[in-house]
């Protein structure tokens, strides 16, 4: 396991190394570079390249987590922080994109909005007002409400687009369709107005690259609704490259999915104060020239905003391909149903759980059942697939007319017992039991 910087330094100092020697070792081990020109040379970018510029990505600040929350820190971001570091970069970045969860503990329930307005006001004061570079921002699943946001940022639209150097950037707001009861991990869904707006932007642009900023990455299993909505728009883009730059998972990631029949590169960044508890963090630099994003680097900082070098992004030239949920189900199943999009026709019961836009969330003693066909396209179903997010817990119970019910530990894939293949349909029921928590996004048979 890779040590974080603090663990690395503790180990070095314990072994008798000096602080300077530890710094040098860290820099060598992480290809860290303390001068900006050095990292530009390493990644093959120069400000003199045609249409050259670079921009920054910082995400999931959770700036309201001062006394409570996983990323809580007293006086969070009030003192020295990543903002000062961004301001000091020379040459200047074109802009910073802040991709949501600017604050947290906010829902579409209006009872959270007064507090959210205070949180947004504090965020504006400690982050936006101190930034000396242009910023573009969207809200995320944990600060999803446009109403308190607009009170603090009346001049900023919740979704927006602009072009620079042959790249068309659009920031999307995924939470307009959520209602007061919608919980914070329901999945992105765009309204018709925003989709029409984006279609027009994409139809008109002559940019080489399209960048969609979203809070939740479009690669994730529970973003199948957003993928289905965006696929035709992405497909219609006349340029060469499509990117999705996102946050939400509090980690660095670089994958390629297929959307609208073309590759989409999905890039995520760690928060500036660590992943799930205050720790070293970073913001990302993205370098552009000739209308293409050609390179990226990390700017590592301690949680208190002390920079400790730039670092190259590992495997930047060869990001790993990734199958979307619907691709993996489409490959292995003869027929499948995505939760929320098309499982209504087979869902039988649902109790004690959250029925979300793109997934069902099982907690204590929750259950759901679906009626699945035993024959698909004239072929008997032999295997059942369940698309869990998180480790499945609890049990699966199969029932059908004329067959003894069978119960076994929940699994993502299981053989359909012989006795259940003889009837027209069978029922699959998932019980979470006492102490398990998981989500389900899809069901399929083969």
- By CB under 5 A, residue 205 contacts Fe ion: no
Per CB under 5 A, the segment of 68-76, 120-128, 242-250, 328-336 that binds Fe ion is 242-250
250 lies in the binding site for Fe ion (CB under 5 A): no
What is the rounded CA–CA span in Å between residue 90 and residue 96? Answer: 14
Give yes or no for residue 57 binding Fe ion (CB under 5 A): no
CB 59 within 8 A of CB 98: yes
Does residue number 101 form part of the binding site for Fe ion (CB under 5 A)? yes
Instruction: Give the shortest CB-61-to-Fe ion separation in angstroms.
Output: 11
Phi and psi dihedrals of 220, rounded to 5?
A: -70, 150
Q: Does 140 bind Fe ion (CB under 5 A)?
A: yes
Q: Are 429 and 386 in contact (CB under 8 A)?
A: no
**Which of the ranges 97-105, 194-202, 233-241, 255-263 carries the binding residues for Fe ion, by CB under 5 A?**
97-105
Residue 194 sits in the site that holds Fe ion (CB under 5 A): no
| Contact status, residue 410 vs residue 430, Cβ threshold 8 Å | yes
For Fe ion, which residue has the nearest CB? Answer: 248
Binding residue (CB under 5 A) for Fe ion from 141, 244, 271, 369: 141
> In sequence order, what E strands does 302-382 have?
307-312, 320-321, 335-338, 347-351, 354-355, 360-362, 367-373, 375-376, 379-380
Q: Which residue has the tokens 């936006």?
A: 128
Part in contact with Fe ion (CB under 5 A); list of ranges 67-75, 138-146, 347-355, 423-431:
138-146
Q: Give the whole-angstrom CA distance, residue 42 versus residue 401.
A: 67
Nearest CB to Fe ion, comparing residues 122 and 248:
248
Number of residues that bind Fe ion (CB under 5 A): 4
Nearer to Fe ion, 33 or 268 (CB): 268
DSSP β-ladder status, 253-259 and 320-321: parallel
Segment near Fe ion (CB under 5 A); pick from 7-15, 240-248, 256-264, 281-289: 240-248
Q: Is 248 in the site for Fe ion (CB under 5 A)?
A: yes
Cα–Cα nearest to 276, from 248, 315, 257, 242: 248
Preceding omega of 177 cis (within 30 degrees of 0): no
Shortest distance, position 366 Cβ to Fe ion, whole Å: 23
**Closer CB to Fe ion, residue 223 or residue 427?**
223
Contact positions vs Fe ion (CB under 5 A): 101, 140-141, 248
């Amino acid at each position: 396991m890779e040590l974080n910087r603090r663990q690395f330094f503790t180990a070095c100092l314990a072994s008798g190394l000096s602080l300077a020697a530890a710094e040098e070792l860290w820099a060598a081990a992480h290809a860290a570079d303390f001068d900006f020109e050095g990292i530009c040379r390493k990644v093959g970018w120069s400000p003199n390249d045609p249409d050259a510029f670079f921009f920054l990505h910082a995400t999931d600040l959770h700036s309201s987590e001062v006394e409570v929350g996983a990323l809580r820190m007293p006086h969070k971001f009030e003192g020295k922080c990543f903002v000062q570091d961004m301001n000091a970069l020379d040459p200047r970045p074109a802009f910073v994109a802040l991709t949501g969860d600017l604050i947290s503990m906010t829902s579409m329930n209006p009872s959270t909005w007064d507090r959210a307005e205070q949180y947004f006001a504090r965020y504006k004061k400690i982050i936006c007002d101190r930034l000396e570079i242009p910023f573009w921002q969207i809200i995320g699943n944990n600060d999803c409400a446009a109403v308190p946001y607009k009170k603090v940022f009346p001049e900023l639209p919740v979704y927006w687009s602009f072009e620079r150097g042959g790249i068309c950037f659009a920031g999307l707001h995924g939470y307009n369709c959520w209602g007061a009861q919608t919980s914070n991990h329901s999945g992105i869904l765009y309204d018709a107005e925003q989709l029409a707006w984006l279609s027009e932007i994409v139809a008109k642009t002559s940019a080489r690259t399209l960048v969609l900023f979203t809070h939740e990455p479009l690669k994730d299993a529970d973003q199948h609704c957003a993928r289905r909505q965006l696929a035709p728009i992405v497909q219609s883009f006349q340029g060469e490259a499509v990117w999705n730059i996102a946050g939400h998972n509090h980690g660095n990631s670089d994958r390629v999915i297929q959307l609208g029949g073309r590759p989409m590169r999905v890039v995520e960044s760690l928060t500036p104060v660590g992943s799930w508890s205050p720790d070293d963090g970073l913001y990302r630099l993205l370098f552009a020239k000739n209308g293409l994003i050609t390179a990226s680097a990390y700017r590592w900082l301690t949680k208190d905003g002390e920079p400790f070098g730039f670092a190259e992004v590992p495997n930047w030239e060869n990001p790993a391909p990734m199958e979307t949920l619907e691709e993996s189900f489409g490959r292995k199943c003869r027929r499948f149903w995505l939760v929320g999009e098309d499982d209504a026709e087979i869902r039988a019961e649902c109790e004690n759980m959250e029925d979300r836009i793109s997934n069902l969330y099982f907690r204590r003693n929750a259950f759901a059942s679906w009626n699945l066909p035993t024959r698909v396209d004239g072929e008997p179903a032999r295997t059942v697939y369940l698309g869990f997010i998180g480790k499945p817990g609890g049990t699966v119970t199969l029932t059908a007319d004329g067959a003894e019910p069978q119960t076994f530990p929940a699994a993502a894939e299981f053989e359909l017992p012989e006795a259940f293949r003889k009837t027209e349909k069978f029922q699959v029921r998932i019980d979470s039991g006492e102490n398990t928590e998981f989500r389900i996004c899809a069901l399929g048979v083969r």
